[in-house]
């Protein structure tokens, strides 16, 4: 049966849940502070948020599929600053091998994901002696900063057509500034080609796929969307003592039909974004006038009725009162932009961590919640906003060169006002 025919619509009264915050309009943001759920959740959504929150906080066990290699033992170990669901100062390490002929091997000796921990300490028999991975000598390395997941459900709800229309708009209207974002077109888990929106390279088109990738590669928990274990340091003959885990009733990997990835995705789906610290600052006008908004698009609007999958069979819930007709003030167009030679990554296109994005292309980083961040840029190498602004095409070879020139031509007071506005988001 086609997916559209399997869709069922559930109309529910708005919930009166004690931990939800009051709202003043349908577009209001949660006012309970970081870590709070979106306002206006349906009863089933409130229940899903709470269930997913407990899964996000927990540490996973070997009987639930943890390992054999991991980055850590639970989502909250990395996504914890300034509260659970945020990012972290820690960097993810990716590696591969650039061959003499210029070809690239992303799976070189266990790449592209460095998993420095193994599940050996948690296997009671003591027979598993697997060690965590190390970056091989001579490997090509790329570092990426752990990103927060606040507001991910709203980002997931943005219509594909709106992202693609924004790319066309930029091509037709921002030629003078050289701005022309493109979508990273990738397959979703229904095998439909869609614009990516999650990840530094917009390499994931859906929230569920973003979560499944973290399950499979950070926790080592295979699931219906990431079915194959990563090979420790490239050796796919994994010691059975490290993988022979006894299934338990709440097993949340492949055998459960993806229950675990849905639980975690629902927590991220209903986690509210950060609200701006101040509004109507003078720097907002300057931000718009010099063209910062041409990539850092202030907002998208979600469709009037938003539906989302609740299982891998195509069953959907909707229309969602928390996600439908919402203003998404993320300050990003979610498109790829050429950031210039000095900002080029090391991984080429057509890898697991890039999809179609080239080395010089990066997704516009959303600015919402920037006030609580302490590290900036995709690799966390920049520690303050003025320096991050200057890093946009510093050699003049990227799309942001003209807009950066306008910023540099501002008076010191106008530059300070613009920075103050950005810092408030």
**pLDDT by residue (tens digit) across 394-419?**
999 999 999 999 999 999 999 999 99
Instruction: Please state, as a whole number, how many other Cβ atoms lie within 10 Å of the Cβ of residue 190.
Output: 11
Q: How confident is the model at residue 297 (pLDDT cuts 50, 70, 90)?
A: very high
Q: How confident is the model at residue 253 (pLDDT cuts 50, 70, 90)?
A: low
Percent of the chain topping pLDDT 70:
89
Query: Distances in Å between the alpha carbon of 378 and those of 256, 361, 393?
Result: 34, 11, 14
Question: Using one digit for the tens of pLDDT, what is the confidence trace for 330-374?
Answer: 999 999 999 999 999 999 999 999 999 999 999 999 999 999 999
Question: Using one digit for the tens of pLDDT, what is the confidence trace for 18-69?
Answer: 222 333 333 333 335 899 999 999 999 999 999 999 999 999 888 888 889 9
Quick one: DSSP state of residue 217? H
pLDDT at 150 (0 to 100): 97
Please provide the average confidence, as pLDDT, over all residues in the chain. 89
Please determine, for residue 173, whether its predicted confidence score (pLDDT) is greater than 80: yes
User: In which region does residue 227 sit, left (phi positive, over 0), alpha (psi from -120 to 50) or beta (all else)?
Assistant: alpha
More confident residue, 125 or 258: 125
Please determine, for residue 81, whether its predicted confidence score (pLDDT) is greater than 60: yes
Quick one: DSSP state of residue 69? E
Please determine, for residue 172, whether its predicted confidence score (pLDDT) is greater than 90: yes
The SS3 assignment for 92 reads strand
pLDDT at 247 (0 to 100): 52
Question: Using one digit for the tens of pLDDT, what is the confidence trace for 132-162?
Answer: 999 999 999 999 999 999 999 999 999 999 9
pLDDT at 14 (0 to 100): 30
For the stretch 207-212, contacts whose Cβ atoms lie closer than 8 Å and that sit 24 or more positions apart, written own/partner, are: 207/152, 207/153, 207/155, 207/156, 207/265, 207/268, 207/269, 208/261, 208/262, 208/265, 208/309, 210/152, 211/261, 211/264, 211/265, 211/268, 212/258, 212/261
Q: How confident is the model at residue 92 (pLDDT cuts 50, 70, 90)?
A: very high
Percent of the chain topping pLDDT 90:
80
Q: How confident is the model at residue 11 (pLDDT cuts 50, 70, 90)?
A: very low
Furthest-apart CA atoms within the chain: distance in Å = 67
Q: How confident is the model at residue 260 (pLDDT cuts 50, 70, 90)?
A: confident
Q: How far apart are CA 107 and CA 258, in angstroms?
A: 25
pLDDT at 26 (0 to 100): 33
Query: Distances in Å between the alpha carbon of 248 and those of 7, 89, 216, 228?
Result: 31, 34, 19, 20
pLDDT at 90 (0 to 100): 84
């Amino acid at each position: 049966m086609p997916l559209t025919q399997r869709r069922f619509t559930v109309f529910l009264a708005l919930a009166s849940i004690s931990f939800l915050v009051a709202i003043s309009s349908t577009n209001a943001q949660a006012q309970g502070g970081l870590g709070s759920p979106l306002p206006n959740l349906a009863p089933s959504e409130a229940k899903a948020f709470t269930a997913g929150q407990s899964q996000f906080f927990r540490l996973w066990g070997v009987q639930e599929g943890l390992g054999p290699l991991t980055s850590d033992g639970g989502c909250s170990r990395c996504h914890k600053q300034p509260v659970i669901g945020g990012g972290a100062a820690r960097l993810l390490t990716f590696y591969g091998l650039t061959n003499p002929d210029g070809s690239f091997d992303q799976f070189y000796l266990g790449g592209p994901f460095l998993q420095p921990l193994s599940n050996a300490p948690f296997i009671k028999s003591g027979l598993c002696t697997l060690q965590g991975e190390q970056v091989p000598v001579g490997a090509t390395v790329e570092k990426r900063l752990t990103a927060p997941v606040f507001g991910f459900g709203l980002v997931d709800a943005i219509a594909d057509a709106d992202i693609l229309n924004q790319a066309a708009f930029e091509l037709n209207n921002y030629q003078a500034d050289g701005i022309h974002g493109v979508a990273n077109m990738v397959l979703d888990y229904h095998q439909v080609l869609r614009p990516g929106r999650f990840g530094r390279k917009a390499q994931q088109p859906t929230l569920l796929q973003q979560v499944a990738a973290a399950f499979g590669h950070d926790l080592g928990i295979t699931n219906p969307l990431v079915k194959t274990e990563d090979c420790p340091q490239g050796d796919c003959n994994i010691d059975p003592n490290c993988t022979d885990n006894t299934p338990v009733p709440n097993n949340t990997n492949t055998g459960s039909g993806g229950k675990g990835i849905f639980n975690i995705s629902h927590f991220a789906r209903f986690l509210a974004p950060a609200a701006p610290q101040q509004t109507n600052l003078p720097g907002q006008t300057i931000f718009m006038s010099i063209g910062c908004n041409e990539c850092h698009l202030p907002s998208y609007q979600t469709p009037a009725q938003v539906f989302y999958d609740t299982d891998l069979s195509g069953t959907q819930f909707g229309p969602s009162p928390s996600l439908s007709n919402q203003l998404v003030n993320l300050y990003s167009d979610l498109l790829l932009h050429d950031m210039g030679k000095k900002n080029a990554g090391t991984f080429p296109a057509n890898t697991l961590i890039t999809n179609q994005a080239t080395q010089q292309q990066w997704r516009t980083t959303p600015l919402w919640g920037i006030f609580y961040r302490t590290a900036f840029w995709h690799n966390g190498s920049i520690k303050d906003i003025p320096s991050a602004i200057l890093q946009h095409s510093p050699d003049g070879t990227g799309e942001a060169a003209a807009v950066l020139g306008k910023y540099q031509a501002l008076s010191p007071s106008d530059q300070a006002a613009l920075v103050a506005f950005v810092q408030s988001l």
